[in-house]
Amino acid sequence: MDNGVERISSNELSDRMQVTASQIRQDLNNFGGFGQQGYGYNVKFLYQAIGKILGLDKTYNVIIVGAGNLGQALANYVRFEKRGFRVIAMFDINPQLVGRKVRGIEIRHLDTLSDYLKQNDIQIATLTLPKAAAEEVALKLVEGGVKAIWNFAHTDLNLPKDVIVENVHLSESLMQLSYNITRHQKGKDEKL
């Protein structure tokens, strides 16, 4: 779409991604028929259709719990806003941070979290704090009505199963990198 392409076939898509044309058609058809025989897929329409499947047509109120470097990095990432994720508050316990603003978003004291949740309808909370505090805070969030947690704390959360948790475990990503380096090295050795 950014390249001004108006229509595209599953074959052309297959060339651009590393996915077979068959799989593209199969996968899309799990959600509906977005193409047209003899024509292919209208790029703009497909983009919107996929956005709708992913729920990107809705908007959510988001808070960031933990306003350290990682929390601030997320607060500064403007493109989330464009996808419908409105960050409206941040929380921390560090007195040096409380009261400050990041991209216009106020950092509040963690003690005020429960009160804040009573007065505001928050769907998503980002957990960007040390793992020691993560579980306790997560429970407060759930009590306060938060339905989904984007968890960056280096721990798995034990929460009621109707709470949606998306983990970003950087250590796992780093291990994968490490494994690929090792495998790559081995591949070389074996060729000798």
Partner DNA sequence: TAGATTGTTAATCGATTAACAATC
What is residue 155's DSSP assignment? S
Per DSSP, helices labelled H in the chain are: 10-16, 21-29, 43-54, 69-76, 79-82, 113-119, 131-143, 170-191
**181 contact choice in its own copies, DNA, none (CB below 5 to 8 Å, kind-dependent):** its own copies
Residue 70, interface with its own copies (CB under 8 A)? yes
Span of 5-13, 92-100, 137-145, 173-181 interacting with its own copies by CB under 8 A? 173-181
CA distance 119 to 109: 15
Closest approach of its own copies to the CB of residue 39, in Å: 27
Helix extents (H) in 20-167: 21-29, 43-54, 69-76, 79-82, 113-119, 131-143
19 binds its own copies (CB under 8 A): no
Residues 39-58 that bind DNA (CB under 7 A): 39-41
Interaction pattern, residues 2-31, with DNA; x per rule: CB under 7 A: ------xxxx-------xxxxx-xxxxx--
Q: Which residues bind DNA (CB under 7 A)?
A: 8-11, 19-23, 25-29, 33-41
